[in-house]
Amino acid sequence: MAPNGTPYHFKIALSDVDRGVYESLDIRPARHPSESFRYLLTRTLAYCLSFEPGIAFSKGGLSSAEEPPISVRDETGVLKAWIDIGSPSAERLHKATKAAERVSLFTHADLGLLRREALSRAVHKVESIEVFRFEPAFLDSLEGAIERSTRLELVRSDGALYVTIAGKLTEGLVTRATLVE
């Protein structure tokens, strides 16, 4: 856990119809003092929607420039996927695409701003970076329902995201894009 971080405990019934992934997840992210609630939710949803064997939150916490917030490693420890959150710099994206065979970005930031930043400098294989964007209003609507310990059902189907917490359903879209138009 990050120093002085606030621990959260999520038990998640994941049904990712779009990828054919159905899992029961028990994850414990820590909210760093400088981390917004939107960022914590984006990071948690990114973990779920990227779930595969070898996935893990960064051990260095959010302040580590050397590690992705979420990574996927094979059984030998080789970095397969760098999963970033928010609005990373072009330099960070360049480093990510050099370090991992697959790079994904989960964000609630404006796609136009992300594209301008990514194209402000040379980024290795920028066209291969997958971007998944959540509407800020969707994340905000979840905030009131999330407690330090929360059980939820998460379903993704045809790009739509359905989150059920304590019997209350919240819907949003996961817009898939690239950093080049």
| Residues lower than pLDDT 50 in the chain | 1-2
Q: In terms of CATH, what superfamily is 6-178?
A: Restriction endonuclease-like alpha-beta roll domain (3.10.640.10)
pLDDT for res 35? 87
pTM: predicted TM-score of the whole model, two decimal places: 0.93
- What pLDDT, on a 0 to 100 scale, did the predictor assign at position 121? 87
Domain ranges for the chain, please list them.
Answer: 6-178
Q: Round to whole Å and give the CA distance between 134 and 110.
A: 10
H or E stretch including 57? Answer: strand 55-57
Angle between helices 37-49 and 136-143 (to 10 degrees): 100
Give the pLDDT of residue 65: 72
